[in-house]
Amino acid sequence: MTSITKILTHAFEKDEGHVHIHIKEKPYSNPYLVGVGLGLVLLAAFVIMGRGLGASGALSTAVAVTVNKIAPKHAAQNNFYKEYVGDETTNPLMDWLIFQTIGVLVGGFISGTVSHRVKKGIEKGPRISTRMRLVYAFIGGGLLGWGAKLARGCMSGQALSGGAVLNLGSWVFMMMVFVGGYAAAYFMRRQWI
Amino acid sequence: MNAPFFKFEYFNRDVSLIIAFAIGIAFGIALEKGGFGRATILASQFYFTNMRVLKVMFTAIVTAMLGLYFFSVIGFVDLSLVYLTQTNMLPMVVGGLVAGVGFVIGGYCPGTSVVAFATGKIDAVVYVLGMIFGIFVFGEMFPSIENIFNSGFMGNVTIPSYFNLSYGLVVFLVVLMALGAFAAAEWGEKKMSEKSGKEKV
């Protein structure tokens, strides 16, 4: 972990030596307008496909397929991996969520490029070191990966998509995310403010 | 023409993957435009300084909910064919709490980390590695927590069906709640900026 952060920190610092032509980045859009746009994308997914949006599912498939490649016997005994690998009649990587997530990557890059917001950097408050920020990013990612799997979905699949179809469990999940977030916020304040 | 189109087999699985890619692009653009590719903006939700997360999320939920409700009332969309994740109360409560704590520590949720990744944020790359690790740990733990994962099973249950309310009434209540949340968010942001303004003087 330490060596990874070192490499990444180094890669980041190297870039600061270069002279950049700074094109002013555009401000972010009105949140309510973005919300309507995001809602229409979600509605389109419901109308066309009969399902909502997702994010953590694509990585789960990737993890399950990798484990299955390396240790097929081990994966075969595990219902979690089996669910994502499937019955081998179809390629598990030819999956809706994987294609949708690659789309998110492309869409984010297009939008960022158009608004001059694609920039190598590390997101953090002024009171925390780069290394600690990266350690927290890893821990937070780990907790979300774990929690989302236990809850059968993340902010996209549960809170957003399940929220719009008034799914009981999704609303409970969403409320719990806010409870957990606000409860932990005090202890993380040095990282952000 | 009836919707959801895929459920009525207007196109096959291969075409659905192209649609997935297109919808993903639109999803990514919306998230980036909302400022969700930046952990500092996402985290500020939890310090009441910038309530964009709440505003975008609730507006999106209300928009999609109203659209879907309208389409089902006019008989265009068959709501029973729209996917519902089954509810398992205990794992959803615990998973939600863990995810909320992870959100503040990591600064992203899974979808937003992809956008941050795409716009060059190195902490998002590390976050995604963490997520892969977390999913792997969950997978390895799965045989021993499988009974917890399947506990509190309630099936496909919505708020209207659980509380025995009409769908339209719940839609109306969610809209009211969202409007209340928006008013509170605008008020809170104003208060916080006044406070920080005074501190600077």
Window from A17-21, B5-9, B72-76 with minimum mean pLDDT: A17-21
Residue of A2, A111, A171, A174 to mutate, testing the B interface (most B Cβ within 10 Å of its Cβ): A111
Query: Do A35 and B131 lie within an 8 Å CB cutoff?
Result: no
* Alpha-carbon span A54 to B117, nearest angstrom: 16
Q: Based on the domain organization, do A75 and A108 belong to the same domain? A: yes
Among candidates A38, A102, A144 on the partner chain, residue whose Cβ is nearest the Cβ of B56 = A38
Q: Based on the domain organization, do A87 and A141 belong to the same domain? A: no
- Is residue A38 in some structural domain? yes
**Per-residue model confidence as pLDDT tens digits over A91-144:** 999 999 999 999 999 999 999 999 999 999 999 999 999 999 999 999 999 999
The candidate with the shortest Cα–Cα distance to B42, out of B54, B33, B29, is: B54
- Is residue A4 in some structural domain? no
- Is residue A12 in some structural domain? no
Q: Which domain holds residue A189?
A: 122-193
Question: What per-residue confidence (pLDDT) applies to B11?
Answer: 92
- Is residue A65 in some structural domain? yes
- Is residue A49 in some structural domain? yes
Q: Based on the domain organization, do A113 and A184 belong to the same domain? A: no
List CB contacts (< 8 A) between A44 and chain B: 23, 26
Across chain B, mean pLDDT equals: 94
Residue B52: which pLDDT band, with cuts at 50, 70 and 90?
very high
Across chain A, mean pLDDT equals: 91
Residue A35 touches partner B, C-beta closer than 8 Å: yes
Q: Based on the domain organization, do A73 and A149 belong to the same domain? A: no
List CB contacts (< 8 A) between A115 and chain B: 32-33
Question: What per-residue confidence (pLDDT) applies to A9?
Answer: 60
Q: Based on the domain organization, do A128 and A115 belong to the same domain? A: no
**Residue B121, SS3?**
strand
Domain boundary among A119, A151, A168: A119
- Is residue A173 in some structural domain? yes
Residue A81: which pLDDT band, with cuts at 50, 70 and 90?
very high
**Per-residue model confidence as pLDDT tens digits over A60-79:** 999 999 999 999 999 999 99
Residue A23 has pLDDT above 80, yes or no: no
- Is residue A13 in some structural domain? no
The identity of residue B93, as a single letter, is: V
* Alpha-carbon span A167 to B61, nearest angstrom: 12
List CB contacts (< 8 A) between B77 and chain A: 46-47
The candidate with the shortest Cα–Cα distance to B129, out of B105, B145, B106, is: B106
Query: Do A103 and B25 lie within an 8 Å CB cutoff?
Result: yes
* Alpha-carbon span B106 to A134, nearest angstrom: 9
Q: Based on the domain organization, do A49 and A114 belong to the same domain? A: yes
Q: How many domains in chain A?
A: 2
**Residue B48, SS3?**
coil
Question: What per-residue confidence (pLDDT) applies to B201?
Answer: 44
The identity of residue A137, as a single letter, is: A
Question: What per-residue confidence (pLDDT) applies to B177?
Answer: 97
**Per-residue model confidence as pLDDT tens digits over B140-162:** 999 999 999 999 999 999 999 99
Residue A12 has pLDDT above 80, yes or no: no
Q: Based on the domain organization, do A103 and A169 belong to the same domain? A: no
H helix or E strand, kind and range, residue A163: helix A163-164
Residue A87: which pLDDT band, with cuts at 50, 70 and 90?
confident
Q: Based on the domain organization, do A114 and A35 belong to the same domain? A: yes
Q: Based on the domain organization, do A111 and A134 belong to the same domain? A: no
**Cβ–Cβ < 8 Å for A158, B76:** no
Q: Token pair of B76, please? A: 């265009």
Q: Based on the domain organization, do A107 and A158 belong to the same domain? A: no
Question: What per-residue confidence (pLDDT) applies to A25?
Answer: 86
List CB contacts (< 8 A) between B21 and chain A: 99-100, 102-103, 106
**Per-residue model confidence as pLDDT tens digits over A147-180:** 999 999 999 999 999 999 999 999 999 999 999 9
- CB neighbour list of residue B20: distance below 8 Å, 6 or more residues apart: A49, A96, A97, A99, A100, A103
H helix or E strand, kind and range, residue B99: helix B89-106
Domain boundary among A64, A94, A119: A119
Q: Based on the domain organization, do A35 and A113 belong to the same domain? A: yes
DSSP summary character for residue B7: G
Which chain A residue is nearest to residue B49, measuring alpha carbons? A193
DSSP summary character for residue B4: S
The answer for B 151-170 residues in CB contact with A (under 8 A) is 154, 157-162, 167, 170
Query: Do B129 and A60 lie within an 8 Å CB cutoff?
Result: no
**Per-residue model confidence as pLDDT tens digits over B68-126:** 999 999 999 999 999 999 999 999 999 999 999 999 999 999 999 999 999 999 999 99
Q: Based on the domain organization, do A126 and A142 belong to the same domain? A: yes
CB pairs under 8 A, 24+ apart, for B66-69?
A: B66/B171, B66/B175, B67/A39, B67/A40, B67/A43, B67/A46, B68/A43, B68/A46, B68/A47, B68/A164, B68/A165, B69/B167, B69/B168, B69/B171
Q: Token pair of A12, please? A: 């980041």
List CB contacts (< 8 A) between B178 and chain A: none
The identity of residue A60, as a single letter, is: S
The answer for B 106-145 residues in CB contact with A (under 8 A) is 106-139, 142-143, 145
- Is residue A14 in some structural domain? no
Domain boundary among A119, A151, A171: A119
